[in-house]
């Protein structure tokens, strides 16, 4: 298990950008696939982007860009925010064993470690 701590959420105006960060409290950070999901009220948790332990990146098309450093941190940059982006954003981590393909890492059920979530509210 690894503890994940997100930060950077808040209330923003539509059209602006936002930077969320996630710190993983583990020395084995390079061995984890890291991902960002979000949950909009009334909807299931949805995949946004991931960078696998192998370095392979995957993301939904659009305004979400993820980066990670070698030590403990991942960043989610959201550009041109829309009111429909309002929701709770979660960082997730999964220990890497073998690369299992995009569909595996896009499925929230395959992640054992989750942050507490950070709220993003976008006003028009």
pLDDT digits (tens, 9 = 90+) for 2-60: 999 999 999 999 999 999 999 999 999 999 999 999 999 899 999 999 999 999 999 99
Closest CA to 35 of 120, 122, 124, 109: 109
Under 8 Å between Cβ of 96 and 73: no
Closest CA to 67 of 79, 80, 76, 58: 76
Work out the number of other CB atoms within 10 angstroms of the CB of residue 13: 10
pLDDT digits (tens, 9 = 90+) for 64-102: 999 999 999 999 999 999 999 999 999 999 998 788 889
Please tell me the predicted confidence (pLDDT) of residue 100.
85
DSSP letter string over 75-91?
EEEE-S--GGG-EEEEE
């Amino acid at each position: 298990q690894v503890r994940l701590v997100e930060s950077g959420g808040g209330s923003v105006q539509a059209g602006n950008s936002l930077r969320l960060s996630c710190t993983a409290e583990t020395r084995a950070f390079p061995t984890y696939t890291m991902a960002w999901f979000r949950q909009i009220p009334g909807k299931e948790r949805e995949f946004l982007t991931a960078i696998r332990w192998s370095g392979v990146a995957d993301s939904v098309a659009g305004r979400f860009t993820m980066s990670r450093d070698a030590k403990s941190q991942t960043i989610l940059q959201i550009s041109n925010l829309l009111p429909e982006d309002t929701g709770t954003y979660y960082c997730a981590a999964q220990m890497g064993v073998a690369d299992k393909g995009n569909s595996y890492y896009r499925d929230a059920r395959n992640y054992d470690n989750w942050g507490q979530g950070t709220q993003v509210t976008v006003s028009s």
